Every structure is written in structure tokens, then in C-alpha cells.
Amino acid sequence: MFEIFYEDLVIGQKETFGHYEVTREEVIEFAGKYDPQPFHLDEEAAKDSVFGGLCASGWHTCAMMMRMMVDHMKERGLASLGSPGIDGIEWKRPVFPGDILSAEGETTAKRDSASRPKLGLVKSTYHIKNQRGETVMIMRGNAMVAKRPA
């Protein structure tokens, strides 16, 4: 099942992955449940906002990024064991219906876990981009990755 373990990850390693098309319906549905602000729910109200049109919640952008990341981990066979948290999120540009998102990730640090000898901790930075190559979000996160079984 797993093909890539903690020992296989290299600091400075970069990858591009994902293809997520943002739809109007999903933007409104997500906002209605989790972030019901007018510029996420109503096209007319959004026109008069700082964004100039209906746009996805930043939290929705995080969720879309998470989907792309999990799909990519499964495709690669990464021995991911979850995350102890993130170090930061920056929403750089609005995400609009019709945008197609992708991600660029870089492994920035790694260390053995002091309390769990069968896993390592990995830091990565992700740049989420739209179809024009513009960065819409940056996330700096942490992952727990299994070590290769003996």
C-alpha cells in the first residue's frame, strides 16, 4: 500500500499536483454551511465588495487544497499519518468560480519524532495557484510520516 516513507523524503524536494475546478454551486454551498458572508453567497452583493464578484471562502480554498493533497498522497503511496497542525495560511488572491486550482509543494524540513520512534515529522510549504499561475494561497504545514518498516 505505502511506497514512500519518511526516509524517502528529501528537503528541497518539490512537486506540482492537483487539478480542482471551482464551481459557483460549490462556492455557495460551502459558504452557506460554513462562511455565510454576502460575497460568498450572492453574486449581486459580491459585485460591490472588495472582491468584485462571487468568490470562495478562504476556508473553502483550504478544503479544496486538502482534497488535492490527499489525492496526491494516495497516488504516490505516501505513508502519511496525519498532521499535528499548520504553521500558517496566507490568502493572497480571491478564488472565483471557473478557476482551476493546482498546488506546488516543497519539503522544507524533517526530523525524527522524539516521542514516537516509528514516525518522522515533515514540514512543507504549499503554493496554491490558479490557472493563470497566480498564487491564491500559501500554506505552511506539518505532517507525520511513517518510517520504513524494519
Q: What does each of the 150 residues of the chain score in pLDDT, given as a tens digit?
A: 899 999 999 999 999 999 999 999 999 999 999 999 999 999 999 999 999 999 999 999 999 999 999 999 999 999 999 999 999 999 999 999 999 999 999 999 999 999 999 999 999 999 999 999 999 999 999 999 999 998
Among 67, 71, 59, residue whose Cα is nearest residue 27? 59
Cβ-count burial of 82 within 10 angstroms (0-12 exposed, 13-18 middle, 19+ buried)? exposed
Amino acid occupying residue 23: T
Amino acid occupying residue 73: M
Contact 143, 82 (CB under 8 A): yes
Q: Where are the domains of the chain?
A: 6-22+57-146
Kind and range of the H or E run holding 104 = strand 100-112
DSSP category for residue 111: E
| Secondary-structure class of domain 6-22+57-146 per CATH | alpha beta
CB atoms within 10 A of CB 111: 10
